[in-house]
Amino acid sequence: MFSKPSQAVYTVSRLNREIRTILEQGFASLVLTGEISNFITPASGHWYFSLKDDKAQIKAAMWRGNNRNQSYRPANGAQVTVKARVSLYEPRGDYQLIVEHMEPAGEGQLKQEFDALKMRLAAEGLFSSVHKQPLPQNINRIGVVTSATGAAIKDILTILKRRAPQLEVIIYPAMVQGKDAHVHLINQIELANARDEVDVLILGRGGGSLEDLWCFNHEQLARAIYQSELPIVSAVGHEIDTTISDYVADVRAATPSAAAELVSPNTQELHNKVTQLVNRLSNAFKHDIADKRALATQLQHRLNLCHPRNQLNQKSQRLDELSIALQQAMRNRLYQQERTLNNLTPRLMRQSPDKKLATASHQLSQLQARLNQAIQHQLQQANNSLALQASRLDSVSPLNVLARGYSITKTQQGKVVKSVDQIKNGDVLITELVDGSIESQVIPIT
């Protein structure tokens, strides 16, 4: 059944346009890998291809403005990593990727995954300062989630013993490197929240390579930190190392030692407050900058949706498609015309124009003779019909009636008198005869 009159009725073009808007707004820039197939480069300079794995594939386009800066030239069968956004080619309703950058698969893979996850979690608001918990004013018990035998726990305990020996420390031992390390870290964070026996948690480990610190970039760990009821200080690696955990945590410390200093009071209380305020302000600035960057990214994305370049690229892709179709249609049409010409030429040669001209001339002479005969016959019939009609007209003429001795009586007004009821005494009557008329006056009728 049709929808109610109040429900909007979509055209196909409107539906495709709105789906395209939803796709482009719903998916931020993403990074993915796959194998290139069906790679073509028309005269416009754009690249069109499919990106596939062993189970699925998706169409993709890379506009000339992006691919002309590429040092890497792709080919069918190549494994690549691309940074792209999701879109829709409106004329056909095809879901496709708009590729912004491409490189051979494997180069900078971890960095790309890090950037992609960071951008996605920032868009979800996990880094927002609105969700950050301040450190408690009075800290009596500190929890540390780290390796029980690593250098980080030794540095933390040394700083705490020197600055605030009265503080209690509870260690939640966990793996801090390896494939399943993030699972150990998540379990210990959840355990600390369930026990609710500390005022703050320090999450960290010593320095290392990007691969060594990779468990602190895991999405599940980031969400566990975000959901923690206990405030968490992230202290992973050296000062130059940055992980996803640093962005999600309530406070980020440059090193495990710095984290111990953040959560422990100092004998110089004024200096401690100033340091604390500086750190909070610094973190607030970082998170605010992260929020502003995320907002700027969203606004830039919205601006890109409205940018004429998108429509131009869509039209350019459609033009390439029509150009290819037109060339094929022209080749087909020329082939059909050539075949028709080859078929008509022998037939034309078999037809003699001289013979057809002689036949037509003979037919014209015969038709001319038949036309003259028909005209004479029509004239004779018309004369006979005229004579007959004249005879009939003469037989009913009033003059013939008068010639046989009859007369016609009329009033002065010209009306024929048919009855005595039409006249009265003294009226003047006119009687028409065959050779003249008589005027008389009515006398009393008896």
Residue 388 has pLDDT above 80, yes or no: yes
Average pLDDT over all residues of the chain: 85
Arithmetic mean of pLDDT, 227-244: 89
Sole residue written with tokens 């990593």? 81
Residue 108 has pLDDT above 60, yes or no: no
Arithmetic mean of pLDDT, 384-399: 76
φ, ψ (nearest 5 deg) of residue 171: -100, 130
The answer to whether the pTM exceeds 0.85 is no
In order of 32, 93, 198, 236, 404, the CA distances from 55 in angstroms are: 15, 22, 48, 38, 121
In 108-254, where do the E strands start and end? 141-146, 168-173, 200-205, 232-236, 251-252
Q: Beta 94-104 vs 79-89: how paired, if at all?
A: antiparallel
Tokens encoding 168? 């209690």
pLDDT given at position 268? 54
Question: Residues near 160 by Cβ (< 8 Å), separated by ≥ 6?
Answer: 142, 167, 169, 260, 264
- Outline where 164-268 has alpha helix (H): 181-195, 219-227, 244-248, 256-263
Residue 107 has pLDDT above 50, yes or no: no
pLDDT given at position 158? 93
Distance CA 240, CA 232 (A): 20
156-215 confidence digits (pLDDT tens): 999 999 888 889 999 999 999 988 999 999 999 999 999 999 999 999 998 877 778 889
Distance CA 48, CA 97 (A): 10
